[in-house]
Each structure stands twice: as structure tokens, then as C-alpha cells.
Structure 1
Amino acid sequence: MDPLATHDEAAADMPEARGPAERILNQEEIDSLLGFDLSDDEDADRTGIRAIINSALVSYERLPMLEIVFDRLVRLMTTSLRNFTSDNVEVSLDNISSIRFGDYLNSIPLPAILAVFRAEELDNYGLLAVDSNLIYSIVDVLLGGRRGTAALRIEGRPYTTIERVLVQRMVEVVLNDARAAFEPLTPVHFNLDRLETNPRFAAIARPANAAILVKLRIDMEDRGGRIELLLPYATLEPIRKMLLQQFMGEKFGRDNIWEGHLATELWTTQLEVRAVLDEHQVPLGQVLNLKVGDTLMLNAGPDSPVALRCGPVNLTQGRMGRRGQHIALKVEQPPSAQAVQRAARGER
């Protein structure tokens, strides 16, 4: 028997000779690391790698005015859709979230009708998605379907012209309510651009761009469905300062007491001004050769206008004279407001 082989087998059986055992992650730990959890709903807080990826998204909570606008939209839609359907309609706001545009397009449950609309004053687009449950419910209500019966769904066929026209009328009602919801904040007109059934043809932003997603639930007794309103951050950027307000009409940095104090101090501020008789450009060599007793000839006469300056800015003009034992300047016209502002900023 080989003594070396016996020694190797004995060393292999010793616990100290073994390296640290490799620990294999189970599926639950892998899902937690990647940020996936099938047991939670889609609104739950993400963890792991997905949380790091989504950290670049701007949370809608940083725009407090958005929630006020959409709460107003819910109240307006409740009234307008009741008038539109002549039925008891209840509109509720499910949630407001931030999402990437590409992720949203991939998550749209099909079949659905996607309404692309344009925000005229904001010079950009938005997206309104109507799910199939609401489409068939609206068609059933508007065409006289009986109450107490669920809307009949026929899968596997495209939407008919009648269905598209009825949904278009409902979308126009919702967009008009959205205009009224934004009206106290800023005037914005939302005009319907087109209706699409394929999400690829409803691309209004790059897949990586962030957007605000608003999910609305519409219930008509035993019928109803969802409307999802998507506004890219690029669309909201022109009114971002307004959306940062905590309440409607909030003013930032306005203090009447401080304004009065500042105005009082400005009136007592000492300002140095210079009366310039004439300017003459000479070569540097001539200036270096100047001696005591040399005479500089000016092009100004006794009646020539004299410029009154504050630093490099010309404030006004006047005439040279004498008052007692002092040389005086008579101002002929008041300083312009633009010249005073430039002098205060130190501009030329």
C-alpha cells in the first residue's frame, strides 16, 4: 500500500483540511437581491438591484401640486362622466407613481385603446390608456345595455368603428376635465391626437425617460374599468416650478417687511459719480514721455455737454458751470432706469 496515498486520504477526511463550504442562495434570497417579490403587489417598495436602478427616477412626491391637480381631476370626472353616461359613475384615484416609459409600454394589458394627446402650451405629448373592461362597459352603457348584467367581452377581434368612436368621445371628456384641473395652476389645452391599439405606435418618449403614471378607477355599479394617464417629465418640465408649490398660489421668497427695509436703505445709499469733460486716446509711448508742465489739449469747449458716469455706465449729461467757489454740473435730463440698473449690476 502506498503510504503517500494513505496520507492524502486521511488529510482529505480532516475538517481542517477542507476549504470553506460554498453557500448556495435559494430562490427567495435571489428574488430579494434582485428586487423581485411575486408575493407583493406592484406598488410595494422595491429593494435590491431594482431599487438602485429606479433610484434615478424623480419621485412624484417632490411635486406636491400634482396630487392636488389629480384630486381635482377625480371630482371633475365624476360629474362629467355621470352626465356623459346618464348613469351612476364613481371615479377614484388608485395611485400616483413614477415609472420609466419603456417599462410602462411593456406592462399595458392588451387589448386596450391608447389615446395620444398633445399639451399645446407645454409643447409635448401625453398618453391615456383605456382598458378593455372599461371599453366594453362604456359601449354597453351608451348603447342601452341593461343594468345588473356584466358587459359582454369578445376577445380575439379588433375594436369596431362604433367602439372606437364611443371611446374617443369619453377620452375627449376626460381631456377636457384635465384642462379644467390644471386651469387654476396654468392654462393647458389637451387635444386628442390619435387613437392606437398597438403600444409600439404610441411611443411619445424614449424608453428610459421618466414619467408620472396616474391610475384612475371608474365604477358604474356592476361595470367599470381603469383609465391610466401617463405624463412624461419632459411634458411637465415647463411648469415644474408651479408643481413644486405646497399650495395653490404659493409665493417663494416674498417678504413685505424686508422689501420696505431694503427700499429705505437704497434711498440712503452713497453713490460715487464722475463728471467726464472729454476723453482722448493717445499712444502709450506719448503717455510715458509726459513731463511736469506738459499741456493736454481737450476737444471740449465751455458749452460742450459733460457726461455724468457711475463707474463705466453713462447716467446722463449736463453743462459745466460755477456755484460760489466750486465747479458745478447742471443736469439737463433725468437718468434712465436702464442705465441705473446697469450701474447697480456693474455692467458696461
Structure 2
Amino acid sequence: MPSVQSLHTFALPAHCAALITITHPDSLTELDFSKPCYVMGEGSNTVFIEDFAGTVLQIATKGVAVTEQQNVWHVQAAAGENWHQLVIHLLEQGIFGFENLALIPGTVGAAPVQNIGAYGVEVGQYIKSVKGYDISKAQFVELAQAECEFAYRESVFKHALKDRFIITEVLFELPKQWQPVLNYGPLQSLDKNIVTAQQVFNKVIEIRQSKLPDPKELANAGSFFKNPIVGSEQVQSLLKQYPDMPNYLVDAKHTKLAAGWLIEQAGLKGFELGGIAVYHKQALVLVNQGAGTATELKAMIQHIQQIVWQKFNVQLEHEVRVIAADGNVQLQGVQA
């Protein structure tokens, strides 16, 4: 069985029944999808906690094409392209909009699945369409933005099309009239009247590098938990106890809280369980200190969920895709 330890950035030891690298979309038509398979890019949002009993498909297609329209840029990018390198490539060409999403690990194909976002920007707002292979139809399909059902860290690819749609290409639409998005934390220090996209890019890099460890130096999967969205009444109650609690209005009835803040306030920043630890610079990140095990990681996830629930009555969900023998699983700690 091939090892997948080097294929996911959390680097837990695990294997799969078979490993196939996809360098051209057409090769998807030749595969047997009657058996379990798991599709991945660079493994930065995946953790294997058991040997996977199916085939791992590693998407490694390449290619970027830019088309100029009157008011927008159209950017076609293959699913296997590295996300951060695409951001750099477009910035160098004077095509702006992705600077807030700099240094997010992973591939272009993974971006719509999670609807990756950072510092006030979500990728879904710039996606015009997504192309992919529909396994159930055995044909290639193109979905318009509305069909992708983008929401906070959500998309149709995680629900109705889960395990039946393999993204092969994404078409982005970026307006030529650039507007900086500076409403998040440290970015507010930049002057919106004179700031450049390059300066926003540089600031985002600086912020991320100060908080997030390089997986090549310390194994991790980036932000491990979603920022929970809760009812606004509960938020008002919590603010009476914790007036400094970060909160971001979603709509009239819902507010987003900062998972990292909740974990830190629960006293878990720097907490260690065997070889797994809550990163000492950013409580939203879990790290494998070198000899961590899947059992320790599962215990850590559930411990964090339980402690945060007990303290705040808020349920945390892990954002990272956790893969067991039969595929994706959602872990949840005991609520008591």
C-alpha cells in the first residue's frame, strides 16, 4: 500500500490502497469509480487518521490563461495549480483581487470546495464558473457561480456533489476597478486612499507568517476549526461576560465568532497532548510536533470541542478534512 504521509501536510503515517496522479482531465474518464476514492491536491487541508481503503487521486493538472474583457479579467486556472503562485502570477500582471488570499496553502481546485477566505475576502465572490467531471453522469460539466452554492467555508462540492464531482478547472472574474478590502484587524492600519494591492499582499504575508507555522518546518494543516456562526441573542449574552470577544455580523440573526479566540480563552493555547499541540502563536492551529499519532489528534480535537462547549456553549467544527478508512469523517467531542 502506498504511503500518504508525505502527501498531507499534517504528516501522520498512513497508507492508501492505490495512488493515482492526474495530469490531464481526460484520464478521469478511464477510472473505475465504483470503488472508494479520495480526491486531493497538495494535502494542506487533509489529515489521514487511518489507512484509506480506497484510491487517492492526486490532482496535478497545470495551466493558466488570462483573457482581457472591457471591465474585467477572466482567468482560467487548472485545478492542480498552486493557489499562492496563482496569486503572485496575477499580481505581477496587474490583476488584483486575490491579495487578501495570499499564502493560503493548497491548489486552485481545492479553493471552491472550501470557498477559501481570509481577511474579509472569499474566493467564491470571484468565481464565474467551475468545470469538473461528474462521476454519476460520466461526463464533464460546467457549473455557474450560483450553482456552486457558496457560503462561509461551504459549497455544493461539500454536500450535494460530494464524492461525485472532481474539479478540473476554475474560471475567475476579477474587476479591473480594484477596491481594497481593509476591514479586517491589522489591515485597518493601511490607508485605503493610497494603498496598493502589492502593499495589501505584503501585509497579509507578514500577518500570516507571524501567526502560522510553515508546514515544511512544523507539520500542520493551517486553521483547523471553522469560525462558528451562532445566534445573535447568544452573542449578546456572551458579550456581557466577555466584552472584548471578537464578533462579526453575518446577518440580522447570526454572528460569526473567532474560533481561535474561543480556544485561547479556554486556556488551551500551547496545550499539548502527546505529540500534538495547539500552536503557541495561534490557537486556531494544531501542529504535529514530529511523533504525533492519529489517536492523539482525535483526542485533541474532541478535547478542544468539549472545553469550548463547556465554557461558551458554542460548538466547534473542524474545517480540515479528516480521512478515515472509508473516507471523510466529522469528529465531535462529548457535549456535557
TM-score, structure 1 normalization: 0.21
Point out the structure with the larger helix share. Answer: 1
Larger radius of gyration, structure 1 or 2?
Answer: 1
Point out the structure with the larger strand share. Answer: 2
